[in-house]
Structures are given as C-alpha cells and as structure tokens.
Amino acid sequence: MARKMKLRTDATHYRDTNTGPALGGQVKPSWTSQGTIKCKLVYKRGTVHMAHMGVQISFGAIAYLLPGADVRPNATGQIPDKLTISDQDFIVRAVLPDTQGTQFQRAYLEIVG
C-alpha cells in the first residue's frame, strides 16, 4: 500500500516579468509573486536526464507539487521560475509529471545562496 504524501509547506512562487535586456545587454530578473502553493520539500542532490532535451540537469532539492501547479523551468525566455520556501530561495530547473503513482509533479530545484 502506497503512503499518502502530505503537502504541508507553503512556497511563494515567483516569475520573471522583465521584458528585455537592461543596459549592457544583460537580463536581470524582475521577480513578481504568482502566489503561494503547497509543496513537500526534500533536500536531495543528484542529476536528472531530460531525454527530450538531451541534457543532464543538476539539482539540490525536489519539491513535490499538485499537478495543476504552474511552475516552469523557462517561464519567460531563459529565466526559470523561483520558489521561496522557509526563507530559502530555489530556482526551478526541471518539472516532471508523476511517474511513481504519487499523483504529484516533481520540481527539481537549484538552491540559491
């Protein structure tokens, strides 16, 4: 029998709303809150192979989210979404749907700072 996972942690979801490069051609994110989502955060280091992109993505944590959570690794151009969980910032590197019967999507996160 599978264990039920409980999403008890609040994550503040941010998306870059910057529309173009700043002076000097560098893009600096302009973070806008998209609201709060429930998650379960697990600190775990590793890599995930994204076969459709042909790349390996390193991560320092995984956030389990409800399937409808609109969290994206490349929401606007090349700037991925950001999650703040318990005063720690994370950059979303990949989001994969449930494949293990947990009924949650997995967001693979890079720890910031």
pLDDT band at 3 (very low <50, low <70, confident <90, very high): low
Tokens of 27: 């893009």
- pTM assigned to the model: 0.83
The 10s digit of each residue's pLDDT in 51-98 is: 766 778 899 999 999 988 999 997 556 789 999 999 999 999 999 887
